[in-house]
Structure 1
Amino acid sequence: MYRLTPRMLQRLKGDLTKYHDMFIGKRCSGWELEELIVAAIQSDTQAQHHVKWQEVGHDALADIIVRTNGTQHPIQIKSGQIKTERLILSGHRLGRFNGDMQDITNYLNEPSANIIAVPYRQVNDEQGRQHLYRVCYADKEVLTGLAPDRWEHRGAQFIQTNPHGVEFSLRPSMSWQIWWAIPVSLIEMTDEFSIA
């Protein structure tokens, strides 16, 4: 699985600091985060990693593809949050399957990219506001193993937990968007870093 080098992480921290110098109140997410990770990868010229930014959005395809020594690493970039020992991520929309659980399940069982997530939390205290980030790596293999007949209808969602312990939540009201709750034991994480 592809990981950012220490130099890339340093560049990402620096760029997030600049971001919060301009935008005090909100987290960096979406295409902005993709662009900062692309810049971070390009910053480590010694690593000789070549990156292509796809700018795909809510699709299962890679947001970026990194090429190292002839190997291609398709990666989705996510923001997310860590809550109760789980990394919570929103994924792509599956409305094109018109609620066909067999087709949705087949599609979800064939992820095409690993995930680099940069979850965020904010702390406001007597020292001021702090923006806290970390970098997490999730292997696409932990997002497989669903069965079409095991979806449980709970309220406005369809829920299923795969054999790895990842909870999948399909939300029809959001164009059948998929959400993942990945146990932190299944991911690699950097230490949290603070930007004041």
Structure 2
Amino acid sequence: MNMTFDRCALTGYALTQENLKPVTGSFVEYETEIVGRVKITLPAYDELINGDFERYLIAGICKDRTLKDEDPILIDSNFIREGYKKLNPLTAFEEKCASFLMYLYQAGGMENKEFEFYSSKDFTLAFADPEEFKRIMDQLVQDNFLKIRATNNLSQRRNLYRRVKLTNDGKEKVRKRLPKMPLFGLVSQEITTGDIEMD
């Protein structure tokens, strides 16, 4: 099978030789800023390029694993049909909003860091396609969880969100979702005074 790998199978965006690792077997590996690390079998690459699959969910899985510094999952024909579902990717709009809010918090939002996002580039952070990413941003602003100082409408219905910050309400929403730290050490500690009769 003589194939060229000039596009990301998940986004359709162009790949450069710098993105690609040498093809040494029955799969191709590449890494982009948008999807992170991808490892995909040759048949699945062809199917994704030519078929109708949940590309953006799979792209979100790849990006999430890359951010967590986990090895890329091998994307094969079974994975693009049903296998990805075993990883429970975010599918509901509200889940995607909550997950993106958590990402912002952990990426520096808790320290009042400002962000910049392109709807055509950063959508994988929310397991969304570019259009849904814009709706997620709108929803988080509407809920008063995000403040966006400037939105630039770029060509081809793309948006640039500048000076994005979590609001106090957004930070509080995330803190409520964080696991509580139990006080294990205090429950099982033995306290002694050093006086044998007293202890």
TM-score class, shorter-chain normalisation, is under 0.3
TM-score (ref. length: structure 2): 0.25
Q: Which has the larger radius of gyration?
A: 2
Whose helix fraction is larger, Structure 1's or Structure 2's? 2
TM-score (ref. length: structure 1): 0.25
Whose strand fraction is larger, Structure 1's or Structure 2's? 1
